[in-house]
Each structure stands twice: as structure tokens, then as C-alpha cells.
Amino acid sequence: MEEFSISIRQHEDIVLLDLNGFLDAHTSVELEKKFEELIARNCNKIVVNFQKLSYISSAGLGVFMAFIENARNNSGDIKLCNMSDKIYNIFDMLGFPILFEIYKEEKSALEKFA
């Protein structure tokens, strides 16, 4: 059965998180810990790449809601990119594009931090 994992890359002062697998009420705890670590290290410019994420439930959405205010209050942001139509439809159906910047390509998300 598919697992969940997070890979980290760095681009200048921006941290990129590559999500892999499925993000549900069980695996979202891992993502929550990763955000806590980043915020504690004062890494507030974050791009999350969804290319390899195959599933998300509301527990996964909740992690982004929990950290975006903190990131923005510290001159950063959490920008999202490379979502499949299946994943984007969930974000869109609930109105997340009102609050979150969602890009088709990672390059565009990185450029917006410039």
C-alpha cells in the first residue's frame, strides 16, 4: 500500500517540500511536524510541490490552514504547486484559492517570492 513521505529541497532562502503518496488524518501528523520544524527554524518561505501526491483529505488541508498565518506574519508564505486535477478540485471546491496561491508550475511559485 502506498505510503506518505516528504522530501526537502532548498532554493536560496525558500524551502521546497515534495509530498509523496497520500495525505490523510494518519499521515498529516508527519507534515504537521515538518511545518513545526520549519517555523521553529524561522523558515517561513515555503513552496509545497504536490506532483507526487495522489490523495488528500480535509486533515491534510488543515495542516496548510494551521501554518499559513504564521508564515505570512513572518514575511513568508506557503505557496502550493503542481497539483493534479483530482487534488486541485478538492482545494477549489472548498474555496482554498481565496487564501492560498496555487501555481501550475514550481518555477512560478518560486518566482513569486522574488
Partner 1 sequence: MTSSTKNLARVRDFVGKRAAESGFDESTINQIILSVDEACTNIIKHAHRYDENETIEIETSFENGQFKIVLNYKGKSFDPNGIENPDMKEYFSSFKVGGLGVPIMKKFMSKIEFDRKNSNTNCLTLIKIIHS
Which residue ranges make up the site for partner 1 (CB under 8 A)? 1-2, 22, 24-26, 55, 57-59, 61-62, 65-66, 68-69, 86, 90, 93-96, 98-99
Q: How far apart are CA 110 and CA 79, in angstroms?
A: 8
Q: Tell the smallest beta-carbon distance from residue 100 to partner 1 (Å).
A: 9
Q: Which is nearer to partner 1, 2 or 37 (CB)?
A: 2
- Min dist CB 111 to partner 1, Å, is 24
Are 81 and 106 in contact, with CB atoms under 8 Å apart? yes
Exposed (0-12), middle (13-18) or buried (19+): which is 57, by Cβ within 10 Å?
A: middle
Number of Cβ within 10 Å of residue 20's Cβ equals 17
Residue nearer to partner 1 on the CB measure, 40 or 93: 93
Query: Least distance to partner 1 from the beta carbon of 9, Å?
Result: 27
> Which CB sits closer to partner 1, 8 or 29?
29
- Three-state SS at 21: strand
Residue among 16 and 87 whose Cβ is closer to partner 1: 87
Question: DSSP state, 112?
Answer: T
Strand pairing report for 14-23 and 77-81: unpaired
Nearest distance in Å: CB 98, partner 1: 5
